[in-house]
Each structure stands twice: as structure tokens, then as C-alpha cells.
Structure 1
Amino acid sequence: MSTAGEVAVAAATRVPRPLRGLPQVDMDDVGNYRRVVVTGGDAELAAVLTALLRADRLDVEVAPATGNWSARRALRAPARRVPLIRDETGTVLVSAAQWHGLDGAQLQGEAIVDDCVLFDGEAPGVRVEPTSDLPGLRASLLTARGRPNRWVVGRAAQLGTPGAQVIRDGVPAPRTVRRSTFYRHTEGWLRVG
């Protein structure tokens, strides 16, 4: 553990004033602190949580901060354990994932949330989001306009397809997939605020 107040900043953007003076860490060092404040967006927060998951350090408190108010809250607020949603690659999902067909085509295949069939055949796409309470996630078919339709909650969402594009927290995966799964990890993460 760090002796510098045990709080560090993983900065992807400008560091808010209340956090200046704290040590800044990279992904290899996030597990060495009691609390890590993450500046940046969902993709940066997901990267920190992925690093903590892979290092087996989900006991580290993680606080997102984008401005002065959220930075002050990140330093003082208590942490609460919330479900950690990950995929089969060990990548954590913070905000939302989407499954889309290739090159603008309909998504083909079958998607299931726990034992509920979300679709079997074709769909415009699927959106998967973590929830702050159990069972851990929710998923919805997307309408032709790209909006969620009807949410189904569960512990896991799975897709089997001839080919799909996966977008995690706004970042497209580098390769198309034939199978994709998002599910609740056995241990949650400690969210501050």
C-alpha cells in the first residue's frame, strides 16, 4: 500500500484541482493503493477495473471523477460494492455494450439473458448494461432507430452468431466475433460515490 494517503489518480484527462498533488499511476500500479480516482470517461474507468480484475485486486476502491465536485466526492465518499460485469476476454463493462451485425446488416443469431431468449433470428442489435444491484445486468433489443426496446434483467447475456461487432463502453472490438458473453463476476467492485 502507498504511504501517500493511500489515494492515487489514474488520469486520462486533465486532473481536477482537488486531485492535484496526489500521485498519478498507470495501469500496472493501480493495485498498490487503497483508492484510485479515475479521470476520463467510461473506457478509462473500464480499463482501470480490468487491470484490477486481472491483478485480483477488487478490494481497491475506485472513484470516477470528471470535475471539481466529483473529485471532492471521490476523496470523501464511502465505497459500495456493486456487481462487476465482464466478458469472456476478462474485459470489464462499465456503461454499455452493443452487439451489431457486420457492415450495417441486421444482427443474426440468438441472444439469451439467463434462460430468457432475447431474440432468435435477426435483430437491429442488442444493448447490454450493468446494473448497480443484483442480478447485475440488463439487456434489450435495439429498435431500427438504435434505441433500447424492452429490458430483460439477469446475471448473464450471451450471443451466438455467424459474425458480430462488439462495442464496449464506446470502443469497438478489433475483431468480429461468433460468440460473446457478458456476465456478473463472482466478486463485485468497490464504487465510490
Structure 2
Amino acid sequence: MWPFGGRRVPRPLRDLAVIGESADLTAVRRIVVLGSAADLGAVLTRLLRAERLDVEVAHVRRPWQARGARSRPAARVPLIRDETGTVIAGAAHWLPTDGEPTIRGEAVVDDEQLFDGDVPGVRIEPTATLPGLRAAVRPGRLRPKRWVSGRAAQLGTTGARVVHDGELAPRTVRRSTFYRHTEGWLRVGAGKPR
């Protein structure tokens, strides 16, 4: 079990061993992540870089999910990462640089153009099924209306900020890509109950 941010451990998980950032992942078969989508993304990034995508991963955000984290089977789902090897578990965004109202450039999802010109931002989400991700132009603070699904989303721009699961990347970019990794991750609860 990998708790983040001082989260309380639900009763059904209290007998599990606690691991953390310095954990040796060679003998781990299943990890229960107690935390946010960003925390889950950090664990998946670590597993990707350690070449341990054979580890089953359960994500517990609420206490009622704890029992299933132990007993539900895992199924392979697409793993979405960027060119730096950072995994997204919830959503990523391409946003304007500080002081700019829009992103100027072009984005495509596989072979379909998402936008060409100026947009307020783009949201990218992993999907549980192939092709693996979906992206949409964000009309201000509203939820997107038109999603484009594909294996990869690519941006070329005069400058944008990248956000991974709510966490802002340190530098502005001119190019950014999110894509489905060659191997998915084993999500606990994605399969049928035992």
C-alpha cells in the first residue's frame, strides 16, 4: 500500500505493508495507491520507468473502495504518457503561457486536426479502452463538447504550459505529445468481480 498526503488508511487495508518513494519494486505484485489522480500518475510513472507494468495497481480515493482494492481482479488498460515519460491518470491540459489568453498553434489527434489557430486550452484524458486517449478544445471553464479519440495527441505552438493531473510542468513548451505506451497498466477493478 502506498498512502499519499497523510491519508487515513481504511480499515480493510490496515494490515497491508506500507511502501513509499524508496520502495524496492522488484518483489511487489499489487500496489494500493491511497491518493489523488496525480498520486496514481506518479506511481504509474515510477512503474513505467522501472519496467514493472506487470504490477497490479488499485486506486483508492474513498474508504468504500478499499475492500475491492484487495479482492477485485486487474485488467490491462491503456497507459498514456508524454515524451518525458510522465504518465497521466486523470487528465492533462495544454494551457496558455502566463499573461496570454490563448494557445496559438496546431494540434492533431492521430490524423485528425483538433485545432489550428488560437484556443483557450486543450484537455487530454486517458480512456479505459483503445485507442487510448481523447482530447478536446476547452471552451473557457466549460466542459468540452467535441472529443477526438486516438492513440496520440500532438501540439505545435508558439508557447504553452503543460499540466499533468493538476500539476504544472516547470517549463513552457513549443511541442508536446501525449500517447499510448506500447504496454498498458494493470488496473484493479477494471475486470469482473471474483
Q: By the TM > 0.5 criterion, same fold?
A: yes
The answer as to 2:151 corresponding to 1:159 is no
CA distance in structure 2 between the partners assigned to 1:105 and 1:66 by the alignment? 34
Identify which of structures 1 and 2 has the higher relative contact order when contacts are C-alpha pairs closer than 8 Å and 6+ apart.
Answer: 2
When residues 110 and 183 of structure 1 are mapped into structure 2, their CA distance, relative to the original with a 3 A threshold, is: same
1:188 aligns with 2:180: no
Question: 1:164 and 1:30, CA in 2 relative to 1: closer, same or farther beyond 3 A?
Answer: farther
The SS at the match of 1:140 is strand
**Match of residue 192 from structure 2:** none
2:75 to 62, 71, 80: 80
Q: Does 1:21 align with 2:15?
A: yes
Task: Give deviations 1:63-86, integer Å, cap 9, x for gaps.
Answer: 001233211000000001000000
For 1:137 and 1:28, how far apart are their aligned partners in 2?
31
SS at 2:147's partner residue? strand
Moved over 4 A (4+): none
CA spacing shift, 1:30–1:180, aligned 2, 3 Å: farther
Report Cα offsets for 1:6-55 as digits up to 9, x if no partner.
xxx01102211111121111134262310000001101000000000000
Q: Could you tell me how far apart the structure 1 residues matched to 2:22 and 2:48 are?
A: 12
CA distance in 2 between partners of 1:92 and 1:130 (Å) = 10
In structure 2, C-alpha distance between the alignment counterparts of 1:30 and 1:148, rounded to whole Å: 41
CA contact (8 A) 1:10 1:30 kept: no
Q: Higher strand fraction: Structure 1 or Structure 2? A: 1
CA distance in 1 between partners of 2:166 and 2:144 (Å): 16
Shift of 1:149: 2.5
Q: Residue type of the partner of 2:125?
A: E
AA partner of residue 36 (structure 2): G
Q: Sort the Cα spacing of 1:146 and 1:102 in 2 relative to 1 into closer, same or farther, 3 A.
A: farther
- The answer on whether the counterparts of 1:62 and 1:192 sit within 8 Å (CA) in structure 2 is yes
Distance 1:30 1:120, change over 3 A: farther
Aligned to 2:3: 11
Residue type matched to 1:24 in 2?
V
Task: Classify 1:130/1:30 alpha carbon distance in 2 versus 1 (closer, same or farther; 3 Å).
Answer: farther
Query: How far apart, CA to CA, are the structure 2 residues paired with 1:130 and 1:11?
Result: 23
Amino acid at match of 1:167: V
Q: How does 1:93-172 map to 2 (within 5 A)?
A: 93-103=88-98, 104-172=100-168
How many pairs does the alignment contain?
Answer: 185
Q: CA RMSD in A?
A: 1.2
Structure 1: give runs of 5+ residues left out of the alignment. 1-8
